Structure 1
Amino acid sequence: MERIVERGFLYDFYGELLTEHQRRIYEDAVFGDLSPSEIAEEQGISRQGVHDLIRRCDRILGDYEAKLHLVAKFLAIRDMAQEAERLAGECLRTGDMARVEEIRRIAGRITGAL
């Protein structure tokens, strides 16, 4: 997974667990595309402090994912739902209802993952 996408998912799932200060700086760096120097000037802290905070936030968010696996579960469920949607479309296009059992199996896996 591309690093920026991974950071986005981690932040979406666990960002609220960061302090307000950490969230503000992380958002500016990752989503606002500001440089550490720009953030440092805006926040009144050193560029090194910004760099360290961003690395710490990446580690914290990664640690949450290592323990809870919410992003991995979400991505697995999303992939299964997309496959079920593809199979349903195939059934509708071709009239072949043989795929219905496969869709039911995928639905069961999704339910089990929740």
Structure 2
Amino acid sequence: MVLGLFEQSEADKRAAEVRAGTVAPTRSERQKCWMARDGYFACLDRNNIIDALKDEKAAAKACKAESAEFEKDCAAQWVTYFKKWRVQDIQKKARLKELEAQGAVRMDVNTDFKARE
């Protein structure tokens, strides 16, 4: 069947629903999103851009293709969440490095609430 100019394939409709957040992504759709996110973050790293929201113009210029793929393959809310998470994760890692340089000792902490035997 030939699609008309304004008709969308079922896959396109599904992708639009995932981007809009009206349907939950499947496991394979989540994996596709994470791969696109990782590609986008790698591009930001190569271009020394930490905050893609604050440095939106620089990120758009440096990582146009990766950004398009990320936004195409992920729910819009996820895109914003991951961009904010990236900044927080980088700041957390930098702070831990500072603390270790000051002599702090890393501790393994168990946050599991299982009963101890």
User: Normalization by structure 1: what TM-score?
Assistant: 0.32
Q: Which has the higher helix share?
A: 1
Instruction: Name which structure has the greater RCO, CA cutoff 8 Å, separation 6+.
Output: 2
Q: Which has the larger radius of gyration?
A: 1
User: Normalization by structure 2: what TM-score?
Assistant: 0.31
